[in-house]
Chain A
Amino acid sequence: MSRRTQILLAVVAIGAFAAVALKVGLVILNSEYRSPVRTQAAAGAPGATETDIETPRDLALKTLAEDREARDKARPYQEVEYRQAPVFPSRVVVWVLAQLHLLFAAFVLAVPMFAFIIEAVGYVTKDPKYDKLAHEFTKLMSVAFSMTATFGAFLTFALIALYPKFTTYLMHVFSPTFLPYVLLFFFEAGFFYTYYYGWGKFHPIVHLSLGVGLNVVGTLIMFIANGWLTFMMSPAGVSDSGAVINAWEALMNYTWMPINIHRVIANVAYGGSVAAAYAAWKFLGAKSDEERAHYDWMGYIGMFVAVSAFLPLPFAGYYLAREIYAFNQALGIMMMGGAFSWLFIIQAVLIGNLFLAANLYLWLGMGRIEGAGQFQKMIKWLLIAIAVCFAVWATPRSIISTSSEVRGMGGSTHPVLGALGFMAAKNTAVNILILTTYVSFLLYRRTGKRATVSWARAGNAAQFALFGLSAAAVIFLGVISYFVDAATRIRLSVPQVLAVLVAMVGMTIIDIFMMRGAERTGKMHWGRLPALSQYVLVFIAITFTWLMGLMGYVRSGLRQHWHVYGIVRDNSPDAFTPTLGYATQIVSVTVLIFFVLIAFVFWVAGLAHKADWAPRAGGERDAGLMRAGS
């Protein structure tokens, strides 16, 4: 018997089996008990068949259905407070969606900022490579823009579906902001698409103006959304029971401006790191030296943007934390000394890694410049400084220890290292980290160049003095913080920050004037860089994304069992604050989803560089099929 006959017979056999099974099923269904009296009565009725006869079961089911219908019709409308999401807890669903929306939004807001600056640099310097680079950065935005809007809509629907009562309350407070928000979003789309598709089609000034419009509108959108979320943490403009007194006060609440400032800076740092990761991905897949050189340069610019914004970020974070304390001490203490205090040890690991990786990239980058040897000798000292600061920052006040260890230490705090757990030590460590990273950048900037101005020696001495004085001031203020009262100690952190800022600004100004017309002692070889440097860029983007996820959690989780702190209580089953271990798992899942999606964005952006599709040699049949299909 042939194989074809066997298949045919199998199909016939299966069909026959199915028909028999169906018939048996129908026979069983129709063989329900029927009273002989009813059967006789029905048989007398004109046109009646056996299936029209109502059995006792049929009657009972009918009565039940009528009762249910009557109950449904009489049921009064009741507002639902919470609904449960399928499979996952509602809070996790909203958490992941909000974080993904925020990650894409941050990227979409950041890219136009530095694209605009790079384009402006290109216009001023008349160097077309800047214009090309700015355009390439903007290409990443197109798909990311749609992703942002999609996750924004997804988040809104999830909130309405899962937290209807709370969402209704927020709508009640912020309804006056909705129309401006939608209009701004509309304008953002208009500016963005004109900016993107109009590249090279307008006079540069007109195009740059579109960039300004895009950035202004994008920032305003973020400011409105920040008003909604900061209201949940530091409500204002409402009565104790939540009645709206002043919607503008609710929007511009206590932590609104600190979050605005923090987010603008963080978005730029984060956007720069993701754009640098894109360049790294393209660098690693580059086929020619020219391509490698281009993507090395692009990665460097992305990284430069990220580090430039990253250096002032801890100051903005400090300002935000200070305002949280000022709004409510209990909230501040909860953040830094209560349930969330250990989160900042995880944050220290992340930020320490960011500083280490950023410095490593700069040190590896020196390899692309001839004559970097003299500066590379200093790397080990910088590395030691960074490692010490990292260790201080990551030292907790109290440690998890066994009973014998507790006896040995005389408490849960280590007699020596415990002193490093105080905020004074952390502030000192982070300020020195910032200063060290800045010095790394300065060394990189000066590699392969020699100042030719007559006062170069004095300039170097002044820079060195600024660095030394600033470091000494930071350490001195950190040490005396241990011996003064609480009120003075808190105030001392401000001159610490100022000492670092003044030193960085001063050293930059000196450097700009000193290196004007500097002699090139070594040639720059873009693209001549080990592959490791590119993986460092990707690692920085991962760490930044993870850090944003973690800090998003603490900002939101700080409210604990409140939707709106002190006003609207969270009565849902998820009102508890989960363990940090659980929170980090959710953050990791979110980051992994984000990287899958951003890989898609990168892939789509990369399609623009691919050659147009054409039928392969000898592929006329495929082409013919396509024509027939079209």
Chain B
Amino acid sequence: MKIPAGLNITVLVVASCAFYTYVGQLVPQKEVLPPAEVKISKDITTDEMVKIGHEIAQGKGLCLTCHTIGKSGTLRFPDLSGIGSRAATRVPGQDAIDYLAHSLYEPDSYIVPGFNPGMPKIARPPIGLNDQEILCVIAWLQSLGGEPNVTLQTRHMHSPAEGATP
């Protein structure tokens, strides 16, 4: 019995779609939710800021989408391990907090040799961290090989003017 070509084509269309759908089920299935807002109370300690900073780096801040911690070899972006101790030595006359703050607010100012510019300004959309969240990220970065000393009251070169509305 000769099977009509139309039927063969229909089976081919359905089978091909089924196959590609099956391939789609074989890869890791991850649902990405919009980043949750982080609540930061005014009397937070530096240790708590480190924890919150780590959460932000993994989520809303997207830091760990590009940067690695403890990897070497062919990297696309600088590895962050040891940044807490290196930060104070990068620019003469600039302490670790100012260096890290400037790297987050104006990332193109400091490009590590061998890497391309391209990090977005963290305080601007779409990431859009606020000043307090950025202080928490600085605390977390300081903790990577250094001793964090930042608090929510710490002022740096990008802090809003005294009395300004945050």
Contacts and interface: CB of A to CB of B under 8 A. Distances in A.
Contacts of A337: 65-66, 76
B30 A539 contact: no
A481 B76 CA distance: 12
Q: Which 4 A-B pairs have the closest CB atoms?
A: A584-B24, A566-B126, A284-B5, A485-B114
A578 interface: yes
Given A350-B20, A422-B74, A543-B16, A240 B115 contact: no
A330 B66 contact: yes
A486 B116 contact: yes
Given A488-B114, A489-B74, A538-B9, 4 more contacts: A328-B120, A333-B66, A349-B23, A577-B31
Interface string A270-314: 000000000001001100000000000000000000000000000
B38 interface: no
Contact of A584 (B20, B35, B74, B124): B20
A535 B116 contact: no
B25 A486 contact: no
B62 A330 contact: yes
B27 A567 contact: no
Interface residues of B, number: 42
Contact of B33 (A329, A484, A539, A576): A576
Interface string A530-572: 0100010011001100100000000000001110011100100
A338 B31 contact: no
B29 A542 contact: no
Nearest to B61: A330
7 contacts: A325-B118, A486-B75, A538-B9, A560-B32, A562-B126, A576-B33, A579-B31
B16 A539 contact: yes
B116 A490 contact: yes
Interface of B is mostly: loop
Nearest to A489: B74
Interface of A: 240, 281, 284-285, 325-326, 328-330, 333-334, 337-339, 342-343, 345-346, 349-350, 400, 422, 481-490, 531, 535, 538-539, 542-543, 546, 560-562, 565-567, 570, 575-581, 583-585, 587-588, 591-592, 595
B21 interface: yes
Nearest to A589: B17
B14 interface: yes
A531 B31 CA distance: 43
A423 to B, nearest CB: 9
B77 A588 contact: no
A575 B32 CA distance: 9
B159 to A, nearest CB: 20
A330 B120 CA distance: 7
Interface string B25-53: 10111111111000000000000000000
A510 B119 CA distance: 46
Contacts of A338: 65
A422 B13 CA distance: 33
A397 B25 CA distance: 18
B125 interface: yes
A577 B30 CA distance: 9
